[in-house]
Structures are given as structure tokens and as C-alpha cells.
Amino acid sequence: MGAGSKARACELLKELKSLIERSEELPPTALFHVKRAAELVKCNPERPAADEKRLFEEEGIIVE
């Protein structure tokens, strides 16, 4: 995987997203920008569909 490859960029964005999600200090706004960056790079979707399906089935929530 080259340093400038799409796969590498997506992997780093995924790690960054996970870091922000777990952090109590980093602003959640950063998630929006990470999501936008992932869109621009055309990464695969970052959130497991199973989580969102479960949320909708159990609580009727559609996230974003």
C-alpha cells in the first residue's frame, strides 16, 4: 500500500474517526470533516450498517 494511495488515506481516516469517536476531548464536529474527507477520497462507508439497522429497528432512529 503506497503512502499516497486511496486505501491508505481511507485507513487513516477510519482510524481518525475512531479516535474522535472514543475521545472525550476532541470535538464531535471533527467527525463531519472526516466524513467529508472520506467522501472526497471516495472511501467506503465508515459506519457498520448493522449498527444503524439495529438503531432503527429498536428505536426508530435514522442517524444523519
Task: Give residues in contact with another protein (CB under 8 A).
Answer: 21, 27-29, 31-32, 39, 44-47, 49, 51-53, 55-56, 59-64
- Amino acid of residue 32: F
| Of residues 3 and 63, the one with the C-beta less far from another protein | 63
Contact partners, residue 14, CB within 8 Å, separation at least 6:
38, 43, 46
Count of alpha carbons within 13 Å of 52, Cβ hemisphere only? 8
| Of residues 16 and 46, the one with the C-beta less far from another protein | 46
Minimum Å distance from CB 6 to another protein?
Answer: 15
